[in-house]
Amino acid sequence: KQRMAGTRLIEDLAYARHGGQALRLDILQPQRRGPHPVLVYLHGGAFAIGSKRTHRALAAAYASRGYLVFNVDYRLAPQHPFPAALEDACAAWAWAAEHANEYGGDAQRMALAGESAGANLALSVVLACCTRRPEPFAARLFERGVRPVAALLYCGFLQVSSPDRHRRAGVSALAARIATDAARSYLGASADHPGREHELADPLCVVEAMQETSGLPPLFIAAGLSDPVAADSR
């Protein structure tokens, strides 16, 4: 409640539809006068759990500091495997860019944030916005031309494939199992041997393969040193 003080919550706005299902987001709007910098927040949860409701306190923390926050629900695995969540994240970014001004936001100052799976999605949206990609949902964002000014990536699960890499000294059996289950849920049989069509499930690998990264915005990357995915952040 303290974090919600000074913010206005606008719930359950439909940003896209898929198979007759409305995909929804909440807006957390600072009560002070805008235009406000805009943050699109993508929750974590191994691509399989979590929602805009479970992560509302995080979104509210940003809104309380003057950001217009779009807090996004997206389709979850295993019912909706890759690229469903990323398609939804891209659609939410496009919707936010189109409607930010209506809610007191500045569409020229838009950023992304997320943790765990949400950091993965945020970095993939950055790549879709800032690099030419073959995926139709990514190509549409690039052509739209709204580039994020920054991205905040916390405890990012930035490479989903090859989950066996987590079976190593210093990573608990439980953490390795969670990473494996997330990879199988999100990528199915392709978790161990992804094809080119799965590249954006592993945005870290895409960035590592880039010869020139000057087109990307500043990235703030953070992870606890004991986090199994800290190596991804490094």
pLDDT tens-digit series, residues 193-213: 999 999 999 999 999 999 999
Burial group, residue 180, by CB count within 10 angstroms (0-12, 13-18, 19+)? middle
Band (pLDDT 50/70/90 cuts) for residue 30 is very high
Average pLDDT estimate for 71-91: 98
pLDDT score of 228: 86
Sheet hosting strand 219-222, strand order edge to edge: 7-18, 21-30, 68-72, 36-42, 105-115, 150-154, 219-222
pLDDT score of 111: 98
pLDDT score of 166: 84
Output DSSP code: residue 217.
P
Band (pLDDT 50/70/90 cuts) for residue 33 is confident
* Residue 153 and residue 123 in contact, taking contact as beta carbons nearer than 8 Å: yes
pLDDT score of 6: 77
For 138, residues 6+ apart whose C-beta sits below 8 A from its C-beta are: 90, 127, 128, 200
pLDDT score of 74: 98
* Residue 69 and residue 41 in contact, taking contact as beta carbons nearer than 8 Å: yes
Continuous segment of H or E residues that includes residue 225: none
The sign of the torsion formed by the CA atoms of 156, 158, 161, 166 equals negative
pTM summary value: 0.96
Output DSSP code: residue 95.
H
Residue 187's Cβ-side half-sphere holds a number of Cα atoms within 13 Å equal to 25
pLDDT score of 1: 59
Band (pLDDT 50/70/90 cuts) for residue 76 is very high
For 15, residues 6+ apart whose C-beta sits below 8 A from its C-beta are: 23, 24, 25, 72, 91, 92, 95, 96
Band (pLDDT 50/70/90 cuts) for residue 171 is confident
Q: Give the rounded percent of residues in the chain with a pLDDT score beyond 90.
A: 86
Q: Give the rounded percent of residues in the chain with a pLDDT score beyond 70.
A: 98
**Residue 212 φ then ψ, to 5°:** -140, 120
For 136, residues 6+ apart whose C-beta sits below 8 A from its C-beta are: none
Say if residue 3's pLDDT is above 80: no
Band (pLDDT 50/70/90 cuts) for residue 159 is very high
Band (pLDDT 50/70/90 cuts) for residue 167 is confident
pLDDT score of 2: 61
- Report the C-alpha gap between 219 and 153 in whole angstroms: 7
Instruction: Please give the mean pLDDT across all residues of the chain.
Output: 95
Band (pLDDT 50/70/90 cuts) for residue 172 is confident
pLDDT score of 118: 98
